[in-house]
Amino acid sequence: MRFLTNSKLEFCHSSSGRVKKKLCIYLGVKSLYLFVSCFYLSFFLTRANGPSRPSLNVGESSFDIKKISEDNSFNHYVLVEFFSSQGNVELAKRTVQFHHHRQTCSMVITILKWVKSGDASTASGESNKIERVKLKSCTFMSVLLQFDSNRLKHLREQIHGYTVKTSFDSNVYVVTGLVDMYAKCKCVLEAEYLFKMMPEGKNHVTWTTMVTGYSQNGYGFKAIRCFGDMRVEGVESNQYTFPSVLTACASVSALVFGAQVHGCIIRSGFGANAYVRSALVDMYLELYDSWVLGCAFTVFNHMQDKDVISWTSLVTGCAHNGSFEEALKYFCDMRIAGICPDQIVVASILSACAEMTVLEFGRQVHATFLKSGLESSLSVDNSLVMMYAKCGSIEDANRVFDSMQVRDVITWTALIVGYAKNGRGKDSLQFYDQMLASGTKPDAITFIGLLFACSHAGLVENARHYFQSMNKVYGIKPGPEHYACMIDLLGRSGKLVEAKELLDEMVVEPDATVWKAFLAACRVHGNLELGERAAKNLFELEPKNAMPYVLLSNMYSAAGKWDAAARIRKLMKSRRISKEPGCSWIELNSQVHTFMSEDRGHPRTADIYSKIDEIMLLIKEAGYVPDMSFALHDMDVEGKELGLAYHSEKLAVAFALLTVPSGAPIRIFKNLRVCGDCHTAMKYISGVYGRHIILRDSNRFHHFREGKCSCGDYW
Ligand SMILES: [Zn+2]
Ligand SMILES: [Zn+2]
C-alpha cells in the first residue's frame, strides 16, 4: 500500500495541472492514517509551489489539519509553508497552532525567510538557535531543499555540521538532501564525497539526485557512469533519472549510450511518460544529424499526450539546429493539433522565418501571436524586429521597435544591422547615436552592423573611428568579421595599401571572410601579387569554394595572362570544384517558388518566358543594353543575349510581375551576388513597370525604385 501511494504521488508531479486533484487524493489518503513518507510530501509540495503553481483553494472541510500535522513536524512545516506561499495566511496560522513543536516550526520558518531573502548574517544568527531545539530529520530536509544558491556558504556548512553533531548524517533522507543541496550550489565534489561515504541503503532518489547533480553541473561523463553504477546495483530509475542522464548524453555527444538509455526507458515502461519523451526528443535534436533527427521525430510521433512543452522542444530544437524548414513544418502541425504557441515557440519560429526570409509566414506568425492575447516578451519582440529586418521589410521592423517598452542591445543591433543591409547606412549610424543616448552599450555584433553601414555608404572616416572605439572605449576586441568589413571598405575606397597594413596587423588569425574581402579588393585594383596570396590562403581554408578560383582566373584574364587563367580553371576542374549554381526564389501565399538559370521546371513556364520577351522589349526601348561580359563565353551573340535574359533573378521577376498584385512590393531572394546585367535590368524594370523591387542577394538588399537602386550601384 505504501509503495502504491508513493508511486501515485510521484507521478503526480509531472502534471502540475492535476496537482489540485492529486493533493486531495493525498489528503484523503492521509486522513485514513495511511503512511506516506515525508519525503514525497515535500517533493510534491515543492513542485506544487514551482513555476507552474496551481491556484489551490483547499477548504477547511476537505481534510483534517490536526491529524496530518500532529504526528510529523515535517509534514506540518510543509503545509504551513505551502499555505503561506498560496497566500492563505489564515490556514497557515491555524496549522501552526495545532503543532506541539511550535517552537521548532516557527524557528525553521524564520530561518527560511532569511534564507530566501538572501540575508546571510541574519539567517546564520537564527540558525544558531536551532541547536537549542531538537529537530527531526525531516526538518533538515526542508531546510536543505531551500539551498539552491551559493550565497549562503556559511549557513550551509553550519547546517551540515549540525547534522553531524546530531548524528543525522547517517539518515539516508538527510544525506540525500545534503547531496542535493551541495549539487545545487555547484559544489559537486562535496556532493560526490557525501554520496560515496553514505551508509548502506541508497535509494533511487539518492542515486537520481547524484546523477542529476553531475548532469546539471556539466559532468556529463560522471553522470553517465553514475547511472551505469545505479543499474549495476539493481536500483530502478524513475522519471527524473532518465531526463538527467539523457541531458548528460547530449552534453558529451554520447549518442550510442543515449540510444541504450532509450532502450532502457522502453523496457522499464517509461516510454509513454511525457517528461521522459521530451528529454529524448531534446537529446536527439541536440546530437543532430539526419539519422538522429529521424529518431527525434519517431520518438515525438509516438508520443501520446503531445503538450505545448513537447511541441516547443521539437520546434525550438529544429530551429536551433538550423533545420528551419522542419521547424516551420512542425509549427504548422502544432497549430493544426490545436496547440496555442507560447512565447518561446513564437520567438524561435520567428528566427527560423528570418533565416529562411519567408516574410509572409513571419507575418502570419506575428498575427497569430497578437490574436492569442499572450503578453509579448522581449525575446518575441526582438525576434520580430530581426525577422522583419532580415526579410527586407525595414519599415515593419521599425514599427515593432517603436512599440516596444523595453529594448536591449539585441533590439538596437537588429535595427542597426537591418538599416545597414537595406542600403540605409546613414539611418543605421543615427540609430547607433540614439542607442548610446539611451544608455545601451554596443556589443561586437553592433559594430559589424556599423562597419557594414560605413562600408556600403563609403564612410571611411566614420568606420575608422568606430573600429578604434571598439577596443578603446568598450573593450571589445575586433574579430575576423570586423577586420573583413574594414578591409572591404578600404578596398572599395581605393586604399589597398592601408587594407594590406591592417591585414598584417591582425592579432587574430585571418579567416576565410577576411581573405575573401582582401581578394575582392585586390581584384578591384588589379593587384595580382597580393591577389595570388589571398587566393592561396582561401584554397586551403575553403577547399570546396569556387570563388577564389573564379576571381583569380578573371584577374589573370584581365591582365592578359591567358595561360595562367587557363591553368587555374584546369586546377579547379581537377579538384572537382564547381560553381554553386545561381538560384532565386520568391514567396507567394506562403509558398516558395524557386528558379535556376534557364529553368523550365515551373508549372507556369510558358507564361514566364513570354513575360520575359515582353520585359526585354520594353526595357530595351527605355535604353537597356545587355552587358555581354556577364554571359557565358562559348556562344554567339544571340545565344549570349538569351542566356542573360534567362538568369534566375529575371525569371523570378517575370513570375512576380505575373502574380504579385500591382502596388505591392516584389521581393526576390538570391543565393549568390546579383550579376551586373541583372542589376541594370532590374533598375529598368522598376522604372518601366512602376514597381518597388526588393532583391536580397548573398550580401545585402537592393531596393529598386523608379530606375534607381538603393545601393547606388555599389555592391
Ligand atoms: Zn544575372
Ligand atoms: Zn543595387
Using one digit for the tens of pLDDT, what is the confidence trace for 320-331?
777 888 888 889
Same domain, 515 and 564: yes
| DSSP at 221 | H
Same domain, 439 and 543: yes
Report pLDDT for 699. Answer: 78
The most confident of the ranges 20-29, 409-418, 574-583 is 409-418
> Does a structural domain hold residue 631?
yes
Same domain, 401 and 424: no
Which domain covers residue 434, as residue numbers?
407-574
Report pLDDT for 675. Answer: 84
Q: Which of 677, 669, 671 is nearest to 632 (CA)?
A: 677
Report pLDDT for 155. Answer: 63
* Helices vs. strands in the chain: H and E counts, helices first: 38, 6
> Residue 329 Cα, ligand 1 centroid: separation in angstroms?
32
> Residue 531 Cα, ligand 2 centroid: separation in angstroms?
25
For the chain, give the percent of residues with pLDDT over 90.
Answer: 30
> Does a structural domain hold residue 648?
yes
Same domain, 416 and 564: yes
Same domain, 422 and 345: no
Residue 681 burial (CB count, 10 A): 25
Same domain, 562 and 414: yes
Angle between helices 359-372 and 324-336 (to 10 degrees): 40
Choose one of 371, 388, 406: the last residue of a domain: 406
Choose one of 574, 591, 607: the last residue of a domain: 574
Which numbered ligand comes closest to the C-alpha of 645? Answer: 1
Rounded CA separation 331/334 (Å) = 5
CATH value at residue 436 = 1.25.40.10
pLDDT tens for each residue of 51-110: 333 333 343 333 444 444 444 554 555 565 556 555 555 665 566 555 544 555 555 555
Rounded CA separation 75/38 (Å) = 6
Same domain, 420 and 398: no
Residue 623 burial (CB count, 10 A): 10
Choose one of 574, 604, 619: the last residue of a domain: 574
Same domain, 556 and 416: yes
Same domain, 527 and 458: yes
Same domain, 564 and 604: no
Number of domains in the chain: 3
Same domain, 475 and 432: yes
Length of the chain measured in residues: 715
**Angle at the Cα of 555 from the Cα atoms of 553 and 556, rounded to 5 degrees:** 65
Same domain, 444 and 519: yes
Which numbered ligand comes closest to the C-alpha of 709? Answer: 2
Query: For 131-135, 163-167, 209-213, which range has the lowest pLDDT when averaged over its residues?
Result: 131-135
> Does a structural domain hold residue 78?
no
Cross-sheet strand order for the sheet of 708-709: 591-596, 583-588, 666-670, 693-696, 701-705, 708-709
Which numbered ligand comes closest to the C-alpha of 697? Answer: 2
> Residue 424 Cα, ligand 2 centroid: separation in angstroms?
12
Q: Enter the C-alpha cell of residue 712.
A: 547606388
564 burial (CB, 10 Å; 0-12 / 13-18 / 19+) is middle
> Residue 544 Cα, ligand 1 centroid: separation in angstroms?
23
Rounded CA separation 502/276 (Å) = 53
Rounded CA separation 420/424 (Å) = 5
> Does a structural domain hold residue 58?
no
Query: For 338-352, 405-419, 597-611, which range has the lowest pLDDT when averaged over its residues?
Result: 338-352
Report pLDDT for 712. Answer: 75
Rounded CA separation 458/56 (Å) = 64
> Does a structural domain hold residue 453?
yes
> Residue 423 Cα, ligand 2 centroid: separation in angstroms?
8
> Does a structural domain hold residue 322?
no
**Angle at the Cα of 315 from the Cα atoms of 310 and 318, rounded to 5 degrees:** 125
Do strands 666-670 and 583-588 pair parallel, antiparallel, or not at all (unpaired)? Answer: antiparallel
> How confident is residue 248, by pLDDT bands cut at 50, 70 and 90?
very high
Report pLDDT for 422. Answer: 87
Q: Which of 239, 313, 195, 262 is nearest to 47 (CA)?
A: 239
> Residue 227 Cα, ligand 1 centroid: separation in angstroms?
59
